[in-house]
């Protein structure tokens, strides 16, 4: 994951599991992340946990259906 700094990445299923872990990793590498999932309470918690001082994390309640 080189060259990820300042890239904007949208992660669906971000409120738990692989999506949550991916969000944490990408933010730690300097990416700007949009968290998307159905559970707003978990999105808010994750955003607060990984938010950087430069505002690199936002969320949107989303339900992706097939």
Is residue 3, in this structure, part of any structural domain at all?
Answer: no
The reported pLDDT for the residue numbered 52 is 81
The confidence score (pLDDT) of residue 37 equals 97
CA atoms of 9 and 33, how far apart (whole Å): 5
The pLDDT value recorded for residue 31 is: 95
Q: How many domains does the chain have?
A: 1
Residue 1 lies in a domain: no
pLDDT tens for residues 13-25?
999 999 999 999 9
Instruction: Identify whether 2 is part of a domain.
Output: no
Q: Identify whether the C-beta of residue 46 lies closer than 8 Å to the C-beta of residue 14.
A: yes
Q: Is residue 51 part of a domain?
A: yes
Our separate counts of H helices and E strands in the chain read 2, 3
Q: What is the pLDDT of residue 41?
A: 98
Distances (CA, A) of 12 to 53, 54, 59: 23, 22, 10
Residues (pLDDT < 70) of the chain are 1-2, 66
**pLDDT value at position 1?**
58
């Amino acid at each position: 994951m080189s060259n990820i700094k300042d890239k904007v990445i949208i992660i669906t299923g971000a409120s738990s599991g692989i999506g949550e872990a991916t969000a944490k990793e990408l933010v730690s590498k300097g990416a700007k992340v949009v968290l998307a999932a159905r559970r707003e309470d978990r999105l808010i918690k994750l955003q607060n946990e990984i938010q950087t001082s430069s505002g690199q994390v936002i969320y949107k309640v989303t339900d992706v259906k097939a």
